[in-house]
Amino acid sequence: MQQAALNLIAIGVFCMTLSVLLGPMLNIPAAIPALATLGVLGLATLDTLSFQGKGVTILLDSVAGTKSQYRDRILHHEAGHFLVAYLLGIPITGYTLTAWEAFKQGKPGLGGVTFDTQGLSPDPLAAGEVRLTLERFCTVWMAGIAAETLVYESAEGGAEDQQKLREALTTLGLPTNQYSIKERWATQQAQRMIKDNFSAYQALVEAMKQRASVTECSEVIAKA
């Protein structure tokens, strides 16, 4: 079950328990909070089973999206992915900045920047090339965290990016004790690239804010 749905169910159970305790004091019929809670739990379960939790994700993202800093963080995070991918020559296939945009494009969760990952397919005849390709993708995956840290001095997003990096390292047989080393290295590489091209990064943030196309965003980076 999706974590967002689990959180919503936990909140529903808590609210039902609280209503049972406070209902008599506030003269609230016991049936009202019980039915309301059951309705929330039912919708959360239906959303998880039928839509893989996308409905809850859209709802929570919409509520959080009322805070401008939340949206700004997402924008700067995804712009970091986009810029570093462009600089490393990794094809960018699209991007989304809200859960609703991701849902409309058939993407899971909050979406984000999507890439052509065909280059990650292991080829035993070209181990060196695969390793180089992996390092490029690792740097791109950590670029969101790098950008957030650079702009806000801390990162609130990036858990899914870290998971992608670790799954790729696992697929290629890298020892688990090297994961954190590779993660730190990739983050530092990404942050250096963003710093060295900060004017292009700022221009890209503005372009993505206006929902410019991938081609238009690439042209903005080239001009900057």
Q: Are 91 and 36 part of one and the same domain?
A: no
Q: Are residues 57 and 94 in the same domain?
A: no
Model confidence pLDDT, tens digit, residues 156-175:
888 889 998 998 888 777 88
* Residue whose C-alpha is closest to residue 142's, from 94, 97, 58, 80: 80
Q: Which residue has the tokens 């909070």?
A: 33
Chain segment 84-135, per-residue pLDDT in tens:
999 999 999 999 888 777 767 666 666 689 988 775 555 544 556 667 788 8
Residues 191 and 204 in one domain: yes
Q: Report residue 120 as tokens.
A: 């990650």
Total number of domains constituting the chain: 2
Domain carrying residue 147: 68-223
Same domain, 95 and 175: yes
Tokens of 139: 């740097």
pTM of the complete model beyond 0.75: no
- The pLDDT tens digits for 34-92 are 555 665 555 555 445 444 444 445 444 454 444 578 889 999 999 999 999 999 999 99
DSSP code of residue 175 = -
Shared domain check, 170 and 103: yes
Place of tokens 């004091």: 25
Identify the domain boundary among 64, 88, 112: 64
103: its two tokens: 């849902």
CATH number for 153 = 1.20.58.760
134 in the same domain as 51: no
Q: Which residues of 41-67 are buried (b: 16+ CB within 10 A; e: fewer)?
A: bebbeebbeeeebbbbbbbbbeeebee
- Which DSSP string do the residues of 51-81 spell out, in sequence order? HTTHHHHHHHHHHHTTSHHHHHHHHHHHHHH
Beta bridge pairs of residue 92? 115
Distance CA 172, CA 170 (A): 5
